[in-house]
Structure 1
Amino acid sequence: MHFSVIFRVLGILLMLFSLTLIPPMLVSLWFADQTHIAFLTSFAITFATGLVLWLPVYNSRQDLRTRDGFLITALFWSVLGLFGSLPFMFSHSPGLSFVNAAFESLSGLTTTGATVITGLDSLPKAILYYRQQLQWLGGIGIIVIAVAILPMLGIGGMQLYRAETPGPIKDTKLTPRITETAKALFFIYLGLTLACGSAYWLAGMSLFDAICHAFSTVAIGGFSTYDASIGHFDSATIMLVCMVFMVLSGVNFGLHFFGWQDRSIRHYLVDPEFRFYASCILLGAAVTSVYLALTGTYSIGQSALQGSFELISLLTTTGFGTADFSAWPTFLPFMLFLFAFMGGCAGSTGGGMKVIRVLLICKQGLREIHRLIHPNAVIPIKIGRKSVSDRVVEAVWGFFSVYVIAFMVMFLMLLATGLDFVTAFSAVGACINNLGPGLGQVAAHYGDLNATAKWVLCFAMLLGRLEVFTLLVLFTPAFWRP
């Protein structure tokens, strides 16, 4: 383990993150909301800490190993979450406690969207902007953005990219060089954000709200500048814009890259993961809309609009709301919530287990059924026309089993803190899937939970954002052996 280079990278990344506190500081000065001192203080503390970590080892030129990349990734997200909490504590409003500020910060960076804050409508504009910016940075992944910059500082980024990028196949690169890959991902992400913000603005949002909601929509985060979320605007046009960009942001960014490069949608239409993703959206939206109409919850038109919006919001793990879906009739709240366990496609900003893993698990299940009928048959698992190796299938099943065990352990821990069954189950599910809204006591916000439960959920958010293994590998003795 090269601790000198680890501290060097961590110091540089902290100093870079401190620069992201400048935009909300400028927003504070523009709106004169008196929070600029909180951001200035946070900037000074974050930059100084990064400088202290970097200075003693700035000459270290050792190469990063894969284990170093795992440690830096986990450390950076954890440390970043703590330093990102400073403005929430130092600002006169909301003036959160340490545990609440850390929860809010990690929820933003991991694009979970679970909040402990109420009264968003009256918060200072700079704090509202900062929450949205945290999600935007977390959406693309601070580490993935940083690998485009680190080579200029003499630090290779491949180990970081492999540790942070989601999906079952982590070595796939859109372009031959990792720096070019990071740049391609960043510009696609930026382009989607600009398009989303422009569409929101044209649909009737103010410029400030359009920017803020574009940040959280493309990041699939779900933070809003209002307690009523997207429902505040009471606009079908805004809902439609939001649905389009939630769906696009839940797609593998590799498909966006090739689609833009070839000026064609062919890559989308032939991609098995995208087709499965689109099919789940269409089927889920149809079931939800029809059931809402049959039960008389809304008119036929409103059932289609509200049902489709909530289904897309929860399936992509965005977490925006226009209605209290937890109060919808019979099985709908649980069906919608369970869709979030699948989440978006691999290589997207979505959370959950990822569509490709769910697809592989389904195909493996079908293969086992066929093997019962034909015990001697050789039945390969195929994604499209390509056979998937047994090693990849084993890795997916390994991920799923560890995911389920981690879920059960944290679920029991929350029950032990005194939460009821529905609240504990949905809180863990919402946080490990980076969804945000849950059921029971956490349908609206997480502010009423006890401190122990909040720390457990902070760990769940990190676990989900880093796709389980990246974080849990640090707790194995073998990782720390020379």
Structure 2
Amino acid sequence: MQFTVVQRILGLLLALFSTTMLPPVVVSLLFGDGFYESFLLAFGLTLATGIMLWLPVRNIRRDLRLRDGFLVVVLFWSVLGTFGALPFAVGAEPNLSVTDAVFESISGLTTTGATVITGLDHLPPSLLYYRQQLQWLGGMGIIVLAVAVLPMLGVGGMQLYRAETPGPMKDNKLTPRITETAKALWYIYLGLTVACVLAYWVAGMSFFDAVGHAFSTVAIGGFSTHDASMGFFQDKPLIEMIAIIFMLASGVNFALHFLAWRSLNLRPYLRDAEFRTYAIVLGALAVITSSYLYLAEVFPNASQAVLHGVFQAVSIGTTTGFTSADYSQWPGFLPVVLLFASFVGGCAGSTGGGMKVIRFLLLIKQGLREILRLIHPHAIITIKVGGKPLPSRVVESVWGFFATYVAIFAILLLLLMFTGLDQVTAFSAVAASMNNLGPGLGDVAAHYGNISDFAKWLLCFAMLLGRLEIFTLLVLLTPAFWRK
């Protein structure tokens, strides 16, 4: 383990992250909310820490190894979550404890969208903007952004990129150099964000709300500048329709967006098995939700039932976490089926959370193969995706991921119930955190402010597990990782 190399990179990344606290200063000055001093203090502390880490090892020029990359990724998200909490902790508003501030920061950076803050409509605009910006930065992974920048500072990026995206990914290198890959992904991400801002603005949002909600929509985050979330704009159904479109787009593998943009046709989407499964799952969920809402007469007419049903199905299914209504109070099995949909989540290589559609697809195919093996015990049956057979190593890794996911989920569930939470609250809190969804059921349907500090730290760990797809974080806990 090259700790000096890790320290140098962490210092550079932390110094880079400190600059993200300057835009809220501008927002504070524009709106005159008087909150700019908190951001300047947070900027100074973060920058100073980054420089102090970097200075002693600034002349280290050794190559970064994959093992070092895993450590950098985990340390950076942990440290960044801590320093990202500073504006929440040092300001007079919203007067959060250290635990709540870290929870809010990690929830934003991991694009979970779980919040401990109430009274959003009365918070300073600069703090509201900062929350949304945290999600936007976390959406594609700040490490991927750093991959595009660090080579200019003399640090290679392929190891970091591989550590950040350990899941079953296609087209890991869309362009010959990893730097160009990171830039291509960010251009697409930025383009979607700008288009979403303009669409929201034209549809009737204020420019401030349009920027804030575009940040969290494209990031599949779910933070809002209003307590009512998207329900604040319920008199403007066009806004919900726009949100549906951009949530769907952001839940798709960004590699497909790149390939479609480069070839200027839709064939990459149509040929992709994961995308087809993604569309089928969300389509079926939208039909079931809308039909049940209509038959149960939850809304006065069919158009509202369809709009709210489709919106909530896409929002929860992609793990965005926006709400146009309190879905936790919907009748029958709807709240639970929507929560279960978040376990599937978005596509691999998207800003969505969950276990990812490709893993869900492979689990189904593996289950069907085992059934066929019972019928034909001597047959050699291969699993194919997109007409191509998959190596057994990939299928094994998916089963390993699923087994580990279930085991960790059960442990966290029991620990939360140990803190005094009821079964529904504990189950939904773990699901919403590990799937980077946000809103849960029971006592965490509206916010997470009323649960214990110990429960919040457990959920912070769950959010990081979900954002880093479990193994990136767990590998650091194995003795073999630290052996020479």
Q: Where on the TM-score scale, by shorter chain, does this alignment land: which range?
A: over 0.9
Partner Cα distance (1:39, 1:461) in 2: 25
Count of residues paired in the alignment: 482
**Which of these residues, 469, 474, 477, is aligned with residue 475 of structure 1?**
477
Partner of 2:157: 157
SS at match of 1:20: helix
Q: Is the 8 A contact 1:286 1:308 kept in 2?
A: yes
**Is 2:24 the partner of 1:24?**
yes
**Is 2:67 the partner of 1:78?**
no
SS at match of 1:338: helix
Partner Cα distance (1:407, 1:467) in 2: 13
1:450 aligned partner, one-letter code = S
Partner of 1:289: 290
**CA positional deviation for 1:169:** 3.4
Map Cα deviations across residues 154-183 of structure 1 (whole Å, 9 max, x no partner). Answer: 100111100112531377211111000000
Partner Cα distance (2:243, 2:167) in 1: 25
SS at match of 1:360: helix
Partner Cα distance (1:471, 1:169) in 2: 18
1:456 aligned partner, one-letter code = L
SS at match of 1:290: helix
Within 5 Å, which residues of 2 pair with 1:108-147?
108-147=108-147
Partner of 1:416: 418
Q: Which runs of 4+ in 1 moved over 6 A?
A: none
When the two chains are superposed, the root-mean-square deviation of aligned CA atoms in Å is 0.8
Partner of 1:38: 38
**TM-score (structure 2 length as normaliser):** 0.99
Alignment gaps of 5+ in structure 2: none
Partner Cα distance (2:272, 2:359) in 1: 14
Partner of 1:190: 190
Within 5 Å, which residues of 2 pair with 1:206-355?
206-234=206-234, 235-298=236-299, 299-355=301-357
Map Cα deviations across residues 243-284 of structure 1 (whole Å, 9 max, x no partner). Answer: 000000000000000111111011111110000000111111
1:161 aligned partner, one-letter code = Y
**Is 2:47 the partner of 1:47?**
yes
Q: Is the 8 A contact 1:166 1:347 kept in 2?
A: no
Partner Cα distance (2:112, 2:13) in 1: 22
Decide whether aligned partners of structure 1 residues 74 and 170 sit closer, same or farther in structure 2, where only a CA change above 3 A counts. Answer: farther
Partner Cα distance (2:167, 2:311) in 1: 26
1:238 aligned partner, one-letter code = I
Partner of 1:390: 392
SS at match of 1:341: helix
Partner Cα distance (2:17, 2:119) in 1: 27
Give the fraction of aligned pairs with identical amino acids, expressed as a percent. 65
1:11 aligned partner, one-letter code = G
1:46 aligned partner, one-letter code = T
Partner Cα distance (1:78, 1:170) in 2: 28
Map Cα deviations across residues 313-344 of structure 1 (whole Å, 9 max, x no partner). Answer: 00000000010101011101000000000000
Alignment gaps of 5+ in structure 1: none
SS at match of 2:384: strand
Q: Is the 8 A contact 1:6 1:68 kept in 2?
A: yes
1:81 aligned partner, one-letter code = G
SS at match of 2:389: strand
**CA positional deviation for 1:91:** 1.4
Partner Cα distance (1:396, 1:199) in 2: 38
